[in-house]
Structure 1
Amino acid sequence: MAEIHQLIIQHGKDRARELVPREQRPLVDAAASVLADESRAMGITYSGFCLTALPHKRLADDQTWRRDGHRVTLVVQPGVLLLGGKEKMYGVPYGSRARLILLYLQTKALQSSSREVELGASMRDWMSRMNVSTGGQSYRDVKEQCNRLSACHLTFFWDDLETKGRGSKFAKDSIVVGGLTFTADDDRQGSLWEERVLLSESFFKSLREHPVPVLESAIREISSKSMAIDVYIWLAYRLHSLSEATRISWQSLYAQFGAGYDELRHFKTRFPETLRVALNVYPEAKVEIGREGLTLHPSLPAVASDRRQAALIGM
């Protein structure tokens, strides 16, 4: 994606749009927005979500989700909530909305140094900044994913070689232990925005120990693309810590990102476009795609080092 970034820097957004094929103009718009972002506002995610992720599409409500990443395995089990005096089964959270909700909760928890996160106007404003409507069907989608996140049982299993005894293993109700459930069946937004959420103690502790900064404006530009979000935060986690070029095989990429693809060959056909979208909002990234997979090169972090350090020290 370096060529699009260079076109914008050398010629400006409008001229860059004229110099690329019509189908690439949305990429120019997204890249220009990130390059023009002076606030460099930062979001925070847990390192485990950089190496594995939630499903992209809805599963059967009773289906457990398992995903293997680099020396880490994520297992998410569906759960039951008591709503209006009745038990209701909720399946595993999925898609871009679940990822955005999680990112908001993690960011606000670390910014406030508290397990308790207020939704309210703060979450509404943040969702709006992420190009997510807070009314109508979008509101119902957010509410559904909130209930799923509250009900699910999530566990990260870390390889000892990776963590050296510092890994995380969360117990039942591992992300949220209070709040984040909504019983109203209509669009009365007050039932969503006035709640508070309490993150589990074990998840909050691991988040504090292993935070990964991401650029808020980058997430905004890919907010409706769940796989692009996963690839972006993976690159934000991996690239700046590399000391030399590192090859990632197609098989490894498929194991981490290939959920929903029946065969590796189908994944190989589609993944380059998703990678292109993620690289488009990470101008500093140096990644090559080849016949055998990807080559990752040491790159500047997605969030400038001085801002990373200042923000994380404050947390």
Structure 2
Amino acid sequence: MAHEEEGLAQVHQLLLDYGADGAKVFAGTKLERQCLDAAAAVMSDERFEMNLLHSGFALTALPHRNTKEVIWQRTGGASGEVTLHVESGYGTDKQPYGIPYGSIARLILIHLSTEAVRNNSRVVELGSSMRAFLKRMGVTPGGKTFTLVRDQSRRISMCRLTFFNKRGRDTLVNKGSFVKNAVFVDGNDLDGRDPFQDTVELDDAFFESLKEHPLPLRESAIKQLAGKSTALDLYVFLSYRLHVLPRATPVSWKSLYQQFGAGCSTQKAFVSNIKDPLTLALAVYPEAKVEVQEQGLILHPSDSPVPKTLPRSANFRLVTS
């Protein structure tokens, strides 16, 4: 099974021709086995459970690893029209909590966004609902993961964010935060309590912007990428771009590096490192038509990973005001 773009298409065809077990004999590498398993999980999912995320995160991204920076900024979009500016919150000791990062931060934001839009309410219940979501994603919030979830929820609750959106000669600025009100449980001994308060209230501006710009995502695909933040970012990006394209559209490595290259010191290193995450992202998006070329990617018009009309078995029903 080829590693280039021809192989990406073959993954899904092999599954259709031979089934999940039969296709495994064609997988010669660990990545190819991962792609087959991930693609099989998505292709066999008939419920089409849907999650949501603010579409701004399809064009910009949080860091993948912990950073000492207290101000984080990334620019993305077809012509660099969207910039995300995140500022760390501070505690009473004047020390920064830090910028949210990694796959756990992304999963928390997806959960908060989904629940808020699902119920058309800024107030989101946590505790059991968060644990249930993380469990569905294959994440058991215990031990080190428990500590990481607590840390990322605190960073998300305390940080400030601004979206800059260039529109011709003007720039639209949306300032606010993810969470308006939050309560932290201090100390390591929780006495059986949840690591979150029972509810959090999303920031007014973020909630309104989220309702105006929700990006549907397929939960089964998110689960397969749950521990891989770069692949998750690429899946979100492709889910946003492909189904609205009127024609084949080139995207340069330079543009992709600007948007997704956090942690890579050079564009050359980025191009080398992004190949595997891209392969995984495409594996869980069977409808995607993407060519990998020397100068970058060619994106082709493709069906959305989430159908416009969900089957009756789907658990998500979008509630609008």
Q: SS at 1:155's partner residue?
A: strand
Question: Which 10-residue stretch deviates more, 153-162 or 238-247?
Answer: 153-162
Question: Which 10-residue stretch deviates more, 113-122 or 181-190?
Answer: 181-190
Question: CA offsets, 1:257-282, max 9 Å, x none?
Answer: 11111111111111121110100100
Distance 1:168 1:220, change over 3 A: farther
Query: Contact conserved, 1:124 with 1:193, CA < 8 A, in 2?
Result: no
* Mapped pair 1:300 → 2:283: no
The structure with the largest helix share of the pair is: 1
Deviation at 1:186, TM superposition (A): 3.7
Tell me what 2:38 maps to: 30
Tell me what 1:93 maps to: 100
Tell me what 1:51 maps to: 59
How do residues 1-315 of structure 1 correspond to structure 2 at under 5 angstroms?
Answer: 1-23=8-30, 24-60=32-68, 63-70=70-77, 71-82=81-92, 88-161=95-168, 167=172, 169-171=174-176, 174-179=177-182, 181-186=184-189, 188=191, 190-307=193-310, 311-312=317-318, 314=320
How many residues are matched?
Answer: 306
Structure with more relative contact order (C-alpha pairs < 8 Å, separation 6 or more): 2
Q: SS at 2:66's partner residue?
A: coil
RMSD over aligned Cα, in angstroms? 2.0
- What is the one-letter code of the residue matched to 1:295? I
Gaps of 5+ in 1: none
- What is the one-letter code of the residue matched to 1:27? C
Distance 1:153 1:256, change over 3 A: same
- What is the one-letter code of the residue matched to 2:10? E
Distance 1:161 1:188, change over 3 A: farther
Query: Contact conserved, 1:247 with 1:295, CA < 8 A, in 2?
Result: yes
- What is the one-letter code of the residue matched to 2:230? M
Gaps of 5+ in 2: 1-7
Q: SS at 1:45's partner residue?
A: strand
- What is the one-letter code of the residue matched to 1:98? A
Query: Contact conserved, 2:182 with 2:197, CA < 8 A, in 1?
Result: no
Q: Give me the identity figure in percent.
A: 42
Query: Contact conserved, 1:135 with 1:189, CA < 8 A, in 2?
Result: no
Distance 1:187 1:198, change over 3 A: same
CA distance in 2, matches of 1:201, 1:130: 28
Query: Contact conserved, 1:168 with 1:206, CA < 8 A, in 2?
Result: no
- What is the one-letter code of the residue matched to 2:59? L
Distance 1:180 1:279, change over 3 A: farther
Query: Contact conserved, 1:140 with 1:187, CA < 8 A, in 2?
Result: no
CA distance in 2, matches of 1:276, 1:38: 23
CA distance in 1, matches of 2:303, 2:43: 14
Deviation at 1:138, TM superposition (A): 0.6
Query: Contact conserved, 1:41 with 1:215, CA < 8 A, in 2?
Result: yes
TM-score normalised to the size of structure 1? 0.92
Question: CA offsets, 1:251-302, max 9 Å, x none?
Answer: 0010001111111111111112111010010000000010110000000001
- What is the one-letter code of the residue matched to 2:66? R
CA distance in 1, matches of 2:208, 2:18: 46
TM-score normalised to the size of structure 2? 0.90
Query: Contact conserved, 1:5 with 1:283, CA < 8 A, in 2?
Result: yes
CA distance in 2, matches of 1:182, 1:227: 30
